[in-house]
Structure formats: C-alpha cells, structure tokens
Structure 1
Amino acid sequence: MTDIKLTDTQRQILEHAVQHTSGKLDWFPDNIKGGARNKVIDSLFNRALITRDGDGWCVAAEGYDALGVARPGCEATQPTEPEQRRTRANSKQAEVIAMLKRPEGATINQICAATGWQSHTVRGTFAGAFKKKLGLDITSSKEVGGERVYYIAG
C-alpha cells in the first residue's frame, strides 16, 4: 500500500467504483454535486488515481494501490479507428472540393466566383479545413503567364 492520502469523499467514490462497477466511476455521494463533483474528479485525475474511459472515468492502477486493493486483470480492448471527418454534400466546402477534383482543377478566382468568398478565405480554407482537418493533399501548378491552378492530388 502506498502513502497516498485520500479524503473521505475520494475514498468513498473509489471504493464504490471498485466494489460495485468494476472500476467505473458512476456514483457520487448525495452532497457532491455540480462544481464540487468536478473538483473531486479533477483532484483524482491530477493525482493519476482515475483515467478517462470513453465518455466517463475509471479507477487507474494507482487508485487501486491507494485503496490497498489488488489490481484487476487486463482485458484486451480493440483499438477504435478515428472517425473520418466529412463534409456536408451541399455546402460551399463540398463545392470547392468538387472543383479541385476536376481534371482541370480550379483557380482562386474561379473558386471566389463560385462561393462568394474572398481570395484570402479560399487560401485559408486550403491550409486549414482541407489540409489540416480533412487531410487532403492539395497541389498546384502554374503555366507561364497563366494563373495558378489548384488540384486535389490522388
């Protein structure tokens, strides 16, 4: 057993989770509501006694140690694939992506005319929404004396 000092409330919450819900924090004393509940959770988390478990909390190995309780056996979990970000079908963003997927690509001026956006908004959308958020690979080329044409590579 370690020398971790727990408040009565912290001990009650951890013991209930270990004894009744296989380590899942889903019960709090009646006098712990709202901000007080958040403070208790923050305190337990900052001391590494609980960890995130999807949309809830569960007792961490250190939490079992603090209670002097044997740690449960590990269950193999399947890693979940991150959800791909999507674009709504009838949005300006979808319209721009369709323009960039055309074999001839699209210029900044063409996109501005189609969306009503200003040129700096189009360039910002390329860097932010398309490259960073959606992970699209946008390339460009410029013919001698012509405008720069943008494409979605692939």
Structure 2
Amino acid sequence: MTKLTDTQTIILSAGAQRPDNIALPLPKGLHGAAAKMAVTKMIAHGWLQEIDVDLRQGEPLWRETGDGHGTTLAVTDAGLLAIGIEPVVAKTVVAIRERASETRAPKPPIQRAGTKQSMLIAMLQAPEGATMEAIIAATGWQAHSARGAMSGALGKKLGLVVTSVKEEGRGRIYRIGGSG
C-alpha cells in the first residue's frame, strides 16, 4: 500500500466530506503544475477519478473538455479506504447531512420599511387595492417594472398572491390576497 502525502490526505479527506465526494476545490496554495502532478498521481493510484460536469450548472471544474462541459474530481471508494474511511459510512454521513440541510426552513425575507417594495405591498394590501396608475405614481416605476415586481419579488420570492380584477369605473385593480 502506498503511503499518502499530506497533500493527498488533505484532498481525500476534504472530498470525503462533500456531497458526491467531490475533491474540488483543492487546498489553498495548490495550483498549476503542482496541482496537476498531485492529481495525476492520485488518479493513477485510483484514489480520484474525473467525472463529467455541466459548466452551466456551476459545478466545480477541474478541466474544460469543450462545448460547455468539463470534468471535476471525485474521491473513489479506494481513495476513501486509503484514508481509513469505509465508503458506505462516508455515503451515509453525506446523505444525513443533505437531509438535515433540506429540513432546515429557509429564513423568511426581511421586509424593510420605507422601500418601494414595502410601499407596493401596503398599497396592494389596502381593501381598495391599487390601480396600475396609482402604483406608477407612487413608485416612479414603469408599468412593466411594476408588473415584474408583483410577479417576481412579491409572488416568487415572498410567496404573496397578487390578484387583479377589472372593476367598473376604476379599471384593473391589483390586490394581495382576496379579490374584493
């Protein structure tokens, strides 16, 4: 059995703690020819393997292969065994961590007072709702920006339901929650 260097031990240990045993990023200060040499030896020993990644997904990149694709480095079962970790144990620990992070509730967005967004929310929560003209006058936004804020910031990010109803004499009225 080959004795591991400190660098190899650090790379394998860090990779064993990441989802899918991804070995990147490499330790600070390890780059260029030294990184290539260390990784090449580890691949030759079977401790690391290159796996395909899609660069558009923002996955860690070892090297580009073209057409928006590249490879990343993953610690193999042999690499885990080399640092004294049973592969099944490592996969179980990673799965437990992933489940724990999924169960944490995301922090609700903080609504600051005095912003155009908070003004828009107040207008839409009023029983009479708000017309597009009133929203434009209050915020200084153009109509497409106001609609985008209602759909994106309020609807998608804050989870508020914005409704619109055409009322006799007033035109289209926007509200949060009910339809009036």
Deviation at residue 122 of structure 1 after TM alignment: 1.1
Relative distance call for 1:136 and 1:118 in structure 2 (3 A) is same
Preserved CA contact (<8 Å) 2:131 2:170: no
Distance (Å, rounded) in 2 between the aligned partners of 1:134 and 1:99: 16
The answer on whether the counterparts of 2:131 and 2:171 sit within 8 Å (CA) in structure 1 is yes
Determine the C-alpha separation between the residues in 1 that align with 2:144 and 2:29: 54
Relative to structure 1, the CA distance from residue 103 to residue 130 in structure 2 (aligned partners, 3 Å threshold; closer, same or farther) is same
| Structure 1 partner of 2:27 | 28
Distance in 1, matches of 2:157 and 2:109, equals 7
Q: Does 1:92 align with 2:89?
A: no
Equivalent residue for 1:112?
136
2:62: which partner in 1?
43
2:62 is paired with a residue whose SS is: helix
Q: Give 3-state SS (helix, strand or coil) of 1:151's partner.
A: strand
Aligned equivalent of 2:79: 67
Q: Normalised by the size of structure 2, how large is the TM-score?
A: 0.54
CA RMSD, 1 decimal: 3.7
Letter in 1 for 2:31: I
Tell me: CA distance 1:114–1:30, structure 2 relative to 1, closer, same or farther (3 Å): closer
| Structure-2 separation of matches of 1:87 and 1:31 | 43
Q: What amino acid is aligned across from residue 147 of structure 2 in structure 1?
A: R
Cα 1:16/1:124, change in 2 over 3 Å: closer
CA 1:89–1:43: 2 relative to 1, 3 Å: same
Structure 2 residues without counterparts, runs of 5 or longer:
40-59, 64-69
More strand by share: 2
- Out of 125, 130, 133, the position equivalent to 2:154 is 130
In terms of mean alpha carbon deviation, does 85-94 or 102-111 score higher?
A: 85-94
SS at match of 1:42: coil
Matched, 1:82 2:106: yes
Kept after mapping to 1: 8 A contact 2:61/2:71: yes
TM-score normalised by length of structure 1: 0.62
More helix by share: 2
| Alignment deviations for residues 51-78 of structure 1 (CA, whole Å, 9 cap, x no partner) | xxxxxxxxxxxx2504151223634443
- Counterpart position of 2:66: none
Give the deviation of 1:15 after TM superposition. Answer: 3.6
- How much does 1:28 deviate? 2.4
